[in-house]
């Protein structure tokens, strides 16, 4: 058996900021992964899934990175209970491809299906059903972790619960996840029964959100260019997996999305000029008015409902070579959300994508992001210093009301504000240090926020 082929590669998260050059191994088998880990020398290590975290969570300079996406074997499935055991590099698109035709769907999905189950646990991802189903980690048991010592251990809520807690949302800093068991949920077909409700401002958003608490999935797009009485106008979407016999079939829009995914690549549109205030304003205007006022009932395919942006590969390149930053926060107070939208709208630094949702009561502690309140996700082209200054200002508002920002989307939060946002960080670090006393697992985010070392 040969030795590990390490290759220098430039890695980046989805925001393409920052980018790091690092020594990578891309094992195809578990034995190759274990060998790469042994052969890393004394270098620190970090796993890299599909790089759908936006910032520096999946990146490590001066270390070794293990790319996990080829470790994608499904190991066992129980059709009676829906429990799937799989390697950590299995992606949600793999799971959906194999199990949707058999009547099962992942329990929680983010806005893209191109994430690995390892990445899903390390960011403890949430979806449109957070208010009822919590996060990815709520549907997982028996996680197999390679520790810094080289030992392999299992953990879940009963076995090594502290390791499980610290690994869930732990940004890859407790060890390399080799496999896990996740519970898939039965669905009747590939369709979604949904309603769209046009809301004219933030107050209407909160009203519709309150009356939609029983829908399994809710999320809204808002036009964050607006200020004053129309601030927060947008499209509220609610619904869930369709009942038996209700089927969208395949529509022209689905065919077009399928075509776009095969043939349209965002890299063709790479430009620092494409997404600016004027184009974003025009898009928002058209998108808002495209949806008729009132409540519309639709049966759609699951793709445009769950993964609308996946229709164009590499759409992140359309922000240009400077990259972009996503700012996702959750605040327990609505007024703070209003204040943030006001600042963003006045700044002239428009966000192309603005998503808002109210989380449920489930919290997980540690470094997991969701907590009760309203979450807002905004994408900004990387305008440099003016943007960074505005985001620092937003952090202060978030900290003041006891909110936090999503670390899986972050590339710039200060250590000081991180500590205020995540008051359990010391407890989390104590658990991590116990399981990784040699500080083998590190990342750029971990170094910036003082989570390692
Ligand atoms: C378009 C889009 C929409 C999104 N929508 C949502 C959303 O609605 N909700 C949400 O919660 N998130 C959302 N995300 C974020 C995304 O779900 C997370 O960042 C997810 O963790 C990415 O998974 P990945 O496989 O790409 O992991 P990566 O980004 O490669 O890695 C994520 C973290 O996991 C660690 N890691 C990965 N694999 C392993 C392993 N095997 N062992 C140990 N550590 C590992 C990495 O070191 C890193 O710290 C979205 C992202 C995009 C691009």
Q: How far is ligand 1, taken at its centre, from the CA of residue 135, in Å?
A: 13
Q: How far is ligand 1, taken at its centre, from the CA of residue 119, in Å?
A: 4
- Judging by beta carbons within 10 Å of its beta carbon (0-12, 13-18, 19+), is residue 283 exposed, middle or buried? middle
pLDDT value of position 272: 77
* C-alpha to C-alpha distance for 431 and 412, rounded to whole angstroms: 25
Bridge partners, residue 296, by sequence = 196
Contact 66 CB / ligand 1 (< 6 Å): no
Contact 51 CB / ligand 1 (< 6 Å): yes
Q: What is the pTM of this model?
A: 0.96
DSSP state of 315: G
Contact 171 CB / ligand 1 (< 6 Å): yes
Question: Which of 3.40.50.40, 3.30.465.10, 3.40.640.10, 3.30.450.40 is the CATH number of 74-187?
Answer: 3.30.465.10
Contact 328 CB / ligand 1 (< 6 Å): no
Within 10 angstroms of residue 173's Cβ, the number of other Cβ atoms is: 25
Q: Indicate the top mutation candidate among 110, 136, 164 to test ligand 1's pocket, ranked by most ligand atoms within 8 A of CB.
A: 110
Angle at 337 between CA 220 and CA 370, to 5 degrees: 70
pLDDT value of position 261: 67
Instruction: Pick left, alpha or beta for residue 253 (phi over 0 → left; psi -120 to 50 → alpha; otherwise beta).
Output: alpha
Q: How far is ligand 1, taken at its centre, from the CA of residue 123, in Å?
A: 6
Task: Please state whether beta strands 19-25 and 64-67 pair in parallel, antiparallel, or not at all (unpaired).
Answer: parallel
Within 10 angstroms of residue 288's Cβ, the number of other Cβ atoms is: 19
Q: Indicate the top mutation candidate among 119, 155, 221, 303 to test ligand 1's pocket, ranked by most ligand atoms within 8 A of CB.
A: 119
Backbone phi and psi for residue 113, each to the nearest 5 degrees, phi listed first: -90, 0
pLDDT value of position 268: 77
pLDDT value of position 428: 98
Q: How far is ligand 1, taken at its centre, from the CA of residue 296, in Å?
A: 33
Q: How far is ligand 1, taken at its centre, from the CA of residue 407, in Å?
A: 10
Contact 375 CB / ligand 1 (< 6 Å): no
Asked if 407 and 451 touch (Cβ cutoff 8 Å), the reply is no
Q: How far is ligand 1, taken at its centre, from the CA of residue 289, in Å?
A: 33
Q: Indicate the top mutation candidate among 114, 125, 325 to test ligand 1's pocket, ranked by most ligand atoms within 8 A of CB.
A: 125
pLDDT value of position 269: 75
Q: How far is ligand 1, taken at its centre, from the CA of residue 99, in Å?
A: 21
pLDDT value of position 305: 95
- Please report, for the chain, the start and end positions of each structural domain, with discontinuous segments joined by +: 74-187, 191-411
Contact 307 CB / ligand 1 (< 6 Å): no
3-state secondary structure at position 154? strand
Contact 169 CB / ligand 1 (< 6 Å): no
pLDDT value of position 211: 96
Q: How far is ligand 1, taken at its centre, from the CA of residue 16, in Å?
A: 14
* C-alpha to C-alpha distance for 346 and 225, rounded to whole angstroms: 8
DSSP state of 116: B
DSSP state of 43: -
- The CATH classification number of 191-411 equals 3.30.70.2520
Backbone phi and psi for residue 125, each to the nearest 5 degrees, phi listed first: -65, 155
- Return the residue whose CA atom lies nearest to atom 46 of ligand 1: 58
DSSP string, 398-450: HHHTT-EE-GGG-S---HHHHHHH-TTHHHHHHHHHHH-TT--B--HHHHHTT
Query: Hey, do 74-187 and 191-411 end up sharing a CATH topology, with the first three levels equal?
Result: no
- Return the residue whose CA atom lies nearest to atom 9 of ligand 1: 110
Tens digit of pLDDT at every position of the chain (453 positions):
569 999 999 999 999 999 999 999 999 999 999 999 999 999 999 999 999 999 999 999 999 999 999 999 999 999 999 999 999 999 999 999 999 999 999 999 999 999 999 999 999 999 999 999 999 999 999 999 999 999 999 999 999 999 999 999 999 999 999 999 999 999 999 999 999 999 999 999 999 999 999 999 999 999 988 889 999 999 999 999 999 999 876 666 666 666 666 677 878 777 777 777 788 888 888 888 888 899 999 999 999 999 998 988 898 998 889 999 999 999 999 999 999 999 999 998 878 789 999 999 988 999 999 999 999 999 999 999 999 999 999 999 999 999 999 999 999 999 999 999 999 999 999 999 999 999 999 999 999 999 999
pLDDT value of position 257: 66
Q: Indicate the top mutation candidate among 118, 170, 309, 358 to test ligand 1's pocket, ranked by most ligand atoms within 8 A of CB.
A: 118
């Amino acid at each position: 058996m040969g030795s590990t082929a390490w290759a220098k590669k430039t890695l980046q998260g989805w925001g393409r900021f920052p980018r790091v050059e690092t020594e990578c191994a891309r094992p195809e088998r578990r034995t190759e992964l274990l060998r790469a880990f042994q052969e890393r020398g004394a270098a620190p290590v970090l796993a890299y899934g599909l790089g759908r975290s936006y910032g520096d969570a999946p990146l490590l300079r001066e270390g070794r990175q293990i790319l996990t996406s080829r470790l994608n074997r499904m190991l066992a499935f129980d059709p009676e209970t829906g429990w799937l055991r799989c390697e950590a590099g299995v992606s949600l698109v793999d799971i959906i491809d194999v199990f949707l035709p058999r009547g099962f769907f992942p329990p929680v999905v983010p806005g893209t299906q191109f994430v690995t189950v390892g990445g899903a646990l390390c960011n403890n991802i949430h979806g449109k059903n957070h208010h009822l189903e919590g996060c990815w980690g709520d549907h997982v048991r028996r996680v197999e972790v390679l520790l810094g010592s080289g030992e392999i251990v299992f953990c879940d809520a009963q076995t090594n619960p502290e390791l499980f807690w610290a690994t869930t949302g732990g940004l890859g800093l407790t060890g390399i996840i080799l496999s896990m068991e996740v519970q898939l949920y039965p669905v009747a077909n590939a369709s979604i029964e949904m309603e769209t409700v046009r809301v004219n401002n933030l107050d209407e958003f909160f009203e519709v959100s309150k009356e939609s608490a029983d829908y399994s999935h809710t999320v809204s797009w808002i036009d964050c260019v607006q200020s004053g009485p129309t601030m927060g106008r947008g499209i509220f979407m609610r619904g869930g997996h369709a009942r038996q016999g209700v089927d969208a079939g395949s529509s022209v829009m689905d065919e077009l999305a399928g075509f776009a995914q095969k043939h349209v690549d965002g890299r063709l549109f790479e430009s620092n000029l494409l997404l600016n205030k004027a184009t974003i304003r025009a898009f928002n205007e058209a998108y808002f008015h495209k949806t008729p006022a009132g409540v519309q009932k639709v049966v759609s395919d699951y793709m445009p409902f769950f993964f609308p942006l996946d229709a164009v590969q590499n759409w992140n390149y359309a922000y240009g070579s400077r990259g972009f930053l996503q700012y996702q926060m959750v605040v327990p107070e609505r007024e703070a959300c209003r204040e943030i939208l006001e600042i963003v709208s006045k700044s002239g630094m428009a966000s192309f994508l603005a998503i808002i949702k109210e989380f449920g009561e489930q919290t997980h502690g540690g470094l997991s992001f969701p907590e009760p309140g309203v979450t807002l996700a905004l994408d900004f082209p990387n305008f440099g210093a003016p943007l960074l200054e505005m985001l620092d200002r937003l952090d202060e508002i978030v900290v003041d009301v006891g909110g936090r920002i999503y670390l899986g989307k972050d590339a710039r939060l200060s250590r000081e504000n991180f500590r205020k946002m995540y008051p359990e960080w010391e407890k989390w670090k104590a658990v991590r240090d116990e399981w990784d006393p040699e500080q083998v697992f590190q990342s750029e985010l971990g170094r910036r926020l003082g989570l390692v070392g």
